[in-house]
Structure 1
Amino acid sequence: MPQISSRAQGATAPPERGGAALVSYVLPVFNEQDGIRRFHEELVAALGERPEYAYELVYVNDGSVDGTPAVLEDIAKNDPRVRVVDFARNFGHQMAITAGIDEARGDAVIVMDTDLQDPPKVSLQLIDAWRDGAEIVHARRRSRQDTFFKKTTAHAFYRLLRSSTEVDIPVDTGDFRLMDRRAADELRRFRERSRFVRGMVASIGFRQSEVHFDRDERFAGETKYPLKKMARLAVDGLTGFSTAPLRMITKLGFAVLALSLVGICYALAMKLLRPDITVSGWTMLMVVVLFLGGVQMLSLGVLGSYIGRTYNEVQGRPLYTVRQVISYDARPGGDGVGHGH
């Protein structure tokens, strides 16, 4: 069994090693017991094509409720390069990525999902681009095996987000990317709770490039980003990197004011010019009341989103809670090393 010791959040120190550059893989996992072994096998096979690097594989168990924790611990026992960050509960995909980056010690850090939609071999192209001088390398989807609805909404969202923010967020890219050590360290300084990691990465600058790939179908299990979570992520992206919704409220207010003035002028004109004709009272009144009520509720909802973000940040709570970090020491005489937050 691995030993457990205390360590503060995000306090990982760089390892002492030889001349080979260390590449860290950050691998968030949630209820992937049916596919995680297959993913690990394919990743290990891919890494065998670049033996000139050293590797560490940081799996982050995001509060899985199936057999995933046991599978991950068994993988760690059989591969000394593996560390398992075990969350105390489910904190979400973006927090799992954050914890993995906090834990990673490599000269380069690659973030990718473990459902085999992001092919492990593509990560080698990210490493090649990093070796050629890029400090952040985005994996951009050339095509994706998803439903028509998801592809259409994702296409529209990325372009809407890019057009409404001052940050140049790459389109058609998820969280599959490589970051140089300096970029990863800079990202670790971002501690807001409502996280949109792909926007945060784009905002820190550095030399950025892209690698295009075809996204595969999920190997096993169900998507961990249903419509509700996708909508929440979209809201975090818009409210975290754009004040466009607030500006939209102002524009909408002016539009409603203009329509109201037109209605008032129409009512006065009919009253003065055609006093014998009664203006449609009840229907017009209900339309105006319902329209204004809808506008007000929408405005309050947008304001509530920004106020809620402020409230969460002011609380200052930890981003996540780790039960333990499991790893097995590869050094002679080492029976295992683990850490707990």
Structure 2
Amino acid sequence: MRADRLMALLLLLQQRGQVTAPEVARELEVSERTARRDLDALAMAGVPVYSTQGRGGGWRLVGGARTDLTGLTAGEARALFLVAGPASAATPAVKAALRKLVQALPEPFRVQAEAAASALVTDPRRWGASRVEPRTPRFLDDLQDAVIHGVQVRLGYVDRDGAGTERSVHPLGVVAKGPSWYLVADTDAGRRTFRIDRVSCVDPTGEPVHRPEDFDLAACWREIADEVDRRRTPLEARAVCAPHGIGVLRMAFGDRLEVGGATTGGRVEVVIRGADEQLLAGELAGLVDWLEVTGPPGVRDQLAAIGATLVGRYGR
């Protein structure tokens, strides 16, 4: 995201006239050290920026210089607005500044720039304990262009078993999920999600995408991610928890925890999802100071077995 930060930093300089490293750090949600490195990087890249020391000092553009947005290519304009979408990782201030630029873009680029702002969703959470290394898939740019231009593609795809298929799809959006990238698309068989690193070819057909009028990529992805999470953790354990233990449960289980209402005894009802009885009982076994599992019976039986094993191994 460094290139995006540098662009946002340049916009802040143009908007405010002068910025300090602490101000940049707050706006871009980075450390002051990173903010200073980014300011130095702008100068090294040839941007006419200079610093003044002492009280009232900061960083300024020489002579109030401004970037000529009419020099942007269509691809550069789209790339800029990919970080301005409603569900991107940019801060609200950065998103607002980027979206304002659409008014300064040449008319031929404006529609595509606006489309780019809703073409990408960033979801920083990994699937479970995934250790996939971040890398840019080969066909990521081609699929982003298909989404932005609203063009159907002939998609080659290799599934997890190594079987290859081809199909025509209507690209609706691209999602960055942790280190992995996904395409959300409509197909003859309904809406589907494709891991982009498994895409083997992308051939635009020239036919327009049939995009539902009420389609919202961020909302659609939330539904997809929730469904995947439910499939990965189909078992639900019911329990009651001491109020001061809720924070511990949130840290331990994240989105797998649902917090309910208070009981007559002052404890809090909770539901915790897991993959199966044995694994979930293993996760819950260390939380007995705060938690009492009320069901299902299989999880309670597994907890009792874990307790008996611990006593037999470590008890006197």
Q: What range describes the TM-score normalised by the shorter chain of this pair?
A: under 0.3
Compute the TM-score of the two structures, normalised by the length of structure 2. 0.28
- Name the structure, 1 or 2, with higher relative contact order (CA <8 Å, separation 6+): 1
Bigger strand fraction: 2
